[in-house]
Amino acid sequence: MSISIKEVDENSFRNLKAEAVRRGIKVGHAASEAFRMWVASSRQHKVRDEEMMRRAAQDMDILRTESKVQWSGMAEIRKWRDKRKW
């Protein structure tokens, strides 16, 4: 597939082209590899964030069950939101 991409950083393109020449591959192949890696990296970052949120929720559950004081995170968030509205 032939495509045109506008507003590409000149140094980034030069570096990509130089690396493609060094490896003996076409610039299009190198760009495709870069696109795939960028998408995979973005997806991996999301997964890590979800795992971090899951662990945080588990930690909050543990703290909530160990706490001797009745506390509701949802009630606290509502208080903060109500204060912001003013």
Q: Tens-digit pLDDT profile for the chain (86 aa)?
A: 888 989 999 999 999 999 999 999 999 999 999 999 999 887 776 666 788 888 888 988 888 888 777 777 788 888 888 888 76
> In 1-86, which residue ranges form alpha helices assigned H by DSSP?
10-23, 27-66, 73-85
- Virtual torsion, Cα 43, 45, 47, 52, nearest 10 deg: -170
Would residue 14 count as lying in a domain? yes
3 state SS of 9: coil
The pTM for the full model equals 0.50
Would residue 52 count as lying in a domain? yes
The Cα–Cα gap between 29 and 33 comes to 6
The answer to whether 47 touches 40, Cβ cutoff 8 Å, is no
Would residue 4 count as lying in a domain? no
Number of domains, the chain: 1
- Measure the CA angle with vertex 74, ends 70 and 78; round to 5°: 115
Q: Which domain holds residue 71?
A: 10-85
